[in-house]
Amino acid sequence: MQNRWAEAPQSELESLVYQSRLVGMEEDLVLWGGGNNSIKSRAADLLGNPIDVMYIKSSGSDMKSIVPKQFPGVRLDYIAPLRQRVEDMSDQEMVDYLARCLVDPASARPSIETLLHAFLPAKAVLHTHADAILALTNTRGREKTVRACFGDSVILVPYRRPGFRLSRDVADRFDAQPDAAGLVLMNHGLITWGDDARAAYDRHIELVTRAEEFARTSARPRATAVARPAPRELPPAIRGALGGRILEFDDSPETLSFLARSDAEQLTQIGAATPDHLLHTKRFPLFLRESDDLREALAGYVERATAHYRAHPSEFAMLDPAPRIVLMAGVGMWTAGKDARGARIVRDIYRHTMRILAAAEDAGGYETLDDDDAFHAEYWPLELYKLTLLPKEKELASKIALVTGAASGIGRAVAERFAEEGAHVVVTDIDLGLAEDVAKSIVAKHGLRRAIALRLDVADEHDVERAFDETVRAYGGVDVVVSNAGISSFGKLDELATADWDRSFAINARGHFLVARAALRVLKAQGLGGSIVFNASKNVTAPGKEFGAYSVSKAAEAQLCRIVALEGGEHGIRANMLNPDAIFGGSRFWSEEMRTMRAQAYGVDTERLPDFYRNRTLLKVEVTADDVAEAALFLAGPRAAKTTGAMLPVDGGVKEAFPR
């Protein structure tokens, strides 16, 4: 591993931040909030008196992007007496005590490893979950393996869950061997120290490099594999079986190479490499053979998880027993999370787990936590308590919404509103550039992979199928489809070109059919129900003169919606339609030619056309794209769970358009 230290930070805290970011950029050291580091220093108390303090990484902060305020200071004079405490200290007692040790009570919560760092006399301490170290500690005869790599230069500490007792054990072992180069925590990681942050980092990189070199001497040649596509209906079926979590698919060469090992299934069923990994990935993945029935395989997995829970008395209710990972040799890996970030975390961690499994097996045989330790790691009270602090889920949390014509106007407003309510949005449009702009703005606001952009011509059958295939690959399936794309077409019937009539039907009728058909196939494969919302227009019930092609094609769309409701009902699939009118803001529908034609038809000036539409409504209001998006959200979400085949006007009250 390369030593990347190249700067000379001006203060101790700046050095700690710099060290964190160097460590955080190395995925082979830490992932997604893992690891912790600290430095002991001097500060002043509330009265200005000098005190010894320790700045330590806050719980859950990410080392690669950490900032100084994420290193809370704790008073060492308050912590030191705990080293002599005889009785045990529960995790909650420890957390409550540490809260009272903060120099600034408003600081973030310090790491669960705070006592471990504080009890070590060294000025700077660094702890990571380095892959190369875990490959040594997760072997049969692990002490022998670690000694074969490092000799007696490192301290070995048997596995114990993080907390007060581990902190004291580490300190006792350090006192017995203070000249050691580092300390290896079995099934947990590596700790190094030094007179400053750089010294602790230098020593860390040196030991990890030695472990990497040791692993290379025993590594077996990698198997090669050529990816084959999964059955088309499999990813939605997996998503449905996992309760509708967001999926991420990985068929990288590294993953396929691991799955091509003859012992891949056996290795994956031994257990996670560390408690930190287990909390995200669960103890085992579901290894799916090509001949397996998914439902039967999942039932077997759940039965195994349930038996594991029942074998260990617990005050906590059983966690979701479904897997977070599904593996299939020759195809790849699906990882699941409540959102795309969660699925990515599971993916990244299990990629590293596969490396550890392979390296440990090659070095002497993979072995990890036993049943009891694994159970108490998964049902760790501190982690379960965090679940109770999660905010209430938003209306479309964990939902995947595909919106057609989403680059502008109503479609864009729908995509952005759905994202506000927690949906992962597939922004489709014939103009890919504009669609990408919308998707990027959603990701910037809502986070990793919360939107993707796809080019989609709804009149092209192959394009529609491709868009749904790419959606399934990106997220595992779909829950909501807003079939919004449409075009305007105007002209008197006796003057209208056949090509214009056909084009209107290709987009406004056939396009909605192709989208609905593709959506129904995915929704049925998932078995989770779903919602399709059609943007049908006021013209369904109140056609306009010189607007025949548009009005008739939209009427066909409305009838299509009713048929979808009839055929989808038994599968829990709802279909409803919106009937907006005259949405001007940000819409490509109202071209200059279109505005001029409609203004002439109503005998008003072009610039006064929006006022004409507003004044003809009963409420005398302007209807915006945001108003339509709010109605789409209602029909798409749980508030309309018992509504299907419905028509919802969003027009300010156009009496001619009253359903009749």
- Report the pLDDT value the prediction gives residue 334, as an integer from 0 to 100: 98
Tell me the β-bridge partners of 451.
Answer: 425
pLDDT > 90? residue 148: yes
* Cβ neighbours for 38, distance < 8 A, ≥ 6 positions apart: 16, 54, 55, 56, 57, 71, 111, 114, 117, 118, 124, 125
Tell me the domain boundaries of the chain. 12-218, 234-386, 400-587+623-657
* Each residue's pLDDT tens digit, 547-583: 889 999 999 999 999 999 999 999 999 999 999 887 7
Given this model, what pLDDT does residue 391 score? 81
Q: How confident is the model at residue 590 (pLDDT cuts 50, 70, 90)?
A: low
Rounded Cα gap, residues 66 and 18, in angstroms: 9
Q: What is the 3-state secondary structure of 174-191?
A: HHHCCCCCEEEECCCEEE
> In degrees rounded to 5, what are phi and psi of residue 246?
-75, 135
Provide the strand spans (E) within 159-308. Answer: 182-185, 189-194, 246-250, 286-287
Which residue numbers are catalytic?
Answer: 550
Helix (H, G, I), strand (E, B) or coil at 401: strand
Amino acid letter, residue 209: T
CB atoms under 10 Å from CB of 500, counted, come to: 16
596 — pLDDT class (breaks 50, 70, 90) = confident
The CATH homologous superfamily to which domain 400-587+623-657 belongs is NAD(P)-binding Rossmann-like Domain (3.40.50.720)
Give the angle subtended at the CA of 66 by the CAs of 60 and 67, to the nearest 5°: 125
CA atoms within 13 A on the CB side of 20: 28
pLDDT at 278 over 70: yes
What is the spatial distance between Cα 554 and Cα 536, in angstroms, rounded to a whole number? 6
Mean pLDDT of the chain: 93
389, pLDDT greater than 90: no
* Interstrand relation of 530-535 and 480-483 (parallel, antiparallel or unpaired): parallel
- Return d(Cα 421, Cα 327) in angstroms, integer: 31
Closest CA to 72 of 99, 51, 96: 99
What proportion of the chain, given as a percentage, has pLDDT over 90? 79
CATH fold label, 12-218: L-fuculose-1-phosphate Aldolase (3.40.225)
Which amino acid makes up residue 525?
Answer: A
Does residue 444 carry a pLDDT above 90? yes
**pLDDT band at 412, cuts 50/70/90?**
very high
Q: How far is CA 83 from CA 123, 195, 230, in A?
A: 17, 22, 56
| Percentage of the chain exceeding pLDDT 70 | 98
- Beta-carbon contacts of 419 under 8 Å, excluding residues fewer than 6 positions away, are 425, 442, 445, 446, 450, 451
pLDDT value of position 660: 59
Residues 353, 270: Cα–Cα separation, whole Å: 12
- Does the domain at residues 234-386 carry the CATH identifier 1.10.240.10? no
**Quick one: tokens of 277?**
């990994």
Identical topology for domains 234-386 and 400-587+623-657: no
Q: How many helices (H) and strands (E) does the chain have?
A: 25, 18
In our burial notation (b when 16+ CB lie closer than 10 A, e otherwise), range 315-336 reads: eeeeeebbbbbbbbbebbbbbb
User: How far is 135 from 273, CA to CA, in rounded Å?
Assistant: 8
Identify whether the C-beta of residue 173 lies closer than 8 Å to the C-beta of residue 259: no
The radius of gyration of the chain's CA atoms, rounded to the nearest angstrom, is 30
Partners of 643 in the β-ladder: none
56: β partners: 38
Nearest to 13 by CA among 98, 70, 79: 70
Whole-number pLDDT of residue 86: 87
Residue 607 confidence (pLDDT): 78
Least confident of 187-201, 218-232, 513-527: 218-232
Confidence of residue 228 (pLDDT cuts 50, 70, 90): confident
Q: What is the pLDDT of residue 224?
A: 74
Please compute the mean of the pLDDT values over residues 142-156 and round it to a whole number. 95
170-174: average pLDDT: 97
Residue 314 pLDDT class (50, 70, 90 cuts): confident
